[in-house]
Amino acid sequence: MVGETSTMTNSFDKTETTQKKSIWESLKKLRTQVQEVFAGEQIDTSKLMDLEEILILSDTGPKIAAEITKDISERMKNTKKPHEGKEITIILKEIIKEKLNKLVDVDNLETTFTDAKNDNQLVPILIIGVNGSGKTTTIGKLAYYFQRQNFTVGLAACDTFRAAANEQLMAWGMKNSIDVLQSKVIDPAAAAFEAIQASKKKKTDILLIDTAGRLPNNKNLIEELKKIRRVISKVGDQFKEHTWIVIDANTGQNAISQIKQFKEAIDITGIILTKFDGTNKAGFLLQLSEQEQIPIRFVGHGEKIGDIVTFSPEVISSGIVGTDFPNI
Ligand SMILES: Nc1nc2c(ncn2[C@@H]2O[C@H](COP(=O)(O)OP(=O)(O)OP(=O)(O)O)[C@@H](O)[C@H]2O)c(=O)[nH]1
Ligand SMILES: [Mg+2]
C-alpha cells in the first residue's frame, strides 16, 4: 500500500550520525595523505606543493588546487609564525568547507514538500543520469527516507528500456511496502503521465520517477527525457518541479561535464552523489562548487536501503582534512 511503512524496515534504521560517520570514513585515504603532509612542526612552501599534488590526484583540478594553496599562504600571512601543521589543518578545513557550503540547498526540502502536502499537491521527482550511476537504488533509498518523514511515496517505473528494470524497482517497492506504478506502454513519457494521474488520484505526496540510464550526448535519448519532463510539467500540479541527477562519485571531474551536458537539455534542481563509500575522487566537489549552483540533495554511501544521508560540508571537509569526526 502506498505510504504504509513496513515494520520490517526498522532493522535498516541508522542514525544520521552513524551515516555521516560512514561518509567521513570513506574519505580515509585522502585524509591520511593530507595528514602526512601536515604531520611536521613547520609547514613551508614545499609542503604546500605536496598538498596541491594530493588535491589534484583527488580530482580537485589544477586551478582550484593552486587557488587553495595560495589561499592558505595568504591566510598564513595573517597569523604569527612559525606555522604548525595543526594550524594549517584548521585553515584548509575552513577553505574546503566554504567551497562546499556553496553546494548546500538554500530552500529546505522538508518544508517545501510539507507545504506541497498541506496543499494536496503531488511532488513528482524525475530521476536522471547515465547508465549504472545508481538511479534505481537511490529511488529505493529515497522512498524509505521520505516515508520516515511521514510523506506518502509512489514509485513510477519509467525505465521501459530494460526488461529487468521493472523487477529491480519492484524489489525496492517491496522493501518499502509500496506498489510500483507500471505501465503497459513502451513510451516512458506516457508511462510517466499514467503514473502521475494515478498518484494524484491516490493523493500521494511524492512520486519518484525512475528513468533509463542515458549518455548526455545521445540526442534521441535526451529528446526522450525532455518529452518526459514536458509531460510531467503538463499533467503535474503547479508545485515546484524537481529533476535530480544521480552522479557516481567515482566519476570524479568527468561528472562536471556530465552535469553541464544534461543541464543544457533539462532544468536540474538537485544532485545526488552515489557510491561515496568507494570514492577517491572527492576533490571534484571543490571544482563543482565553483562551477555549478545546483544543490547536492543527498549522498548515497552503500547498497542498503538506509545508506543515504543529506549533504554535509562539515563532515566532508573534516573527512578530507583529518581533524576528528565533528561533533554534530
Ligand atoms: N557501493 C555502492 N553501490 C551502489 C550505490 N548506489 C548504487 N550502487 C550499486 O550500483 C549498481 C547500479 O545501481 P542501479 O541503481 O541499478 O543503477 P541505475 O542508474 O539505476 O542503472 P541503469 O538503470 O542501468 O542506468 C548496483 O550494483 C547498485 O547496488 C552506493 O551508494 N554505494
Ligand atoms: Mg535503473
What domains are there in the chain, each with its CATH number? 16-321 (3.40.50.300)
Pick from 22, 137, 155, 251 the residue to mutate for probing ligand 1's pocket: most ligand atoms within 8 Å of its CB.
Answer: 137
Region 92-118 average pLDDT: 93
Spacing, Cα 299 to ligand 1 middle (Å): 13
**Ligand 1 atom at minimal distance to the Cα of residue 276:** 31
Residue 12 has a pLDDT of 56
Ligand 2 centroid – CA 210 distance (Å): 7
Q: Best mutation site among 303, 304, 305, 311 for ligand 1, i.e. most ligand atoms within 8 A of its Cβ?
A: 303
Atom of ligand 1 nearest to the CA of 129: 19
Q: Max alpha carbon distance in the chain (Å)?
A: 71
Shortest-distance atom of ligand 1 to CA 168: 16
Half-sphere exposure of 172 (CA within 13 A, CB side): 31
CA 264, 266, 268, 274 torsion-angle sign: negative
The structure's pTM equals 0.94
Give the pLDDT confidence of 163-207 residue by residue, as tens digits: 899 999 999 999 999 989 999 888 999 999 999 999 999 999 999
The alpha carbon of 274 is separated from its chain's Cα centroid by a whole number of angstroms, namely 6
Q: Indicate which ligand has the atom closest to the C-alpha of 277.
A: 1
Atom 1 in ligand 1: residue holding the nearest Cα: 302
Residues 6+ apart with CB under 8 A from 201: none
- Ligand 2 (ion): residues with CB under 5 Å are 135-136
Average pLDDT over residues 228-241: 83
- Using one digit for the tens of pLDDT, what is the confidence trace for 239-297? 678 999 999 999 999 999 999 999 999 999 999 999 999 899 999 999 999 999 999 99
Q: CA 66, 72, 75, 78 torsion: positive or negative?
A: negative
On the question of pLDDT at 146 being above 90, the answer is yes
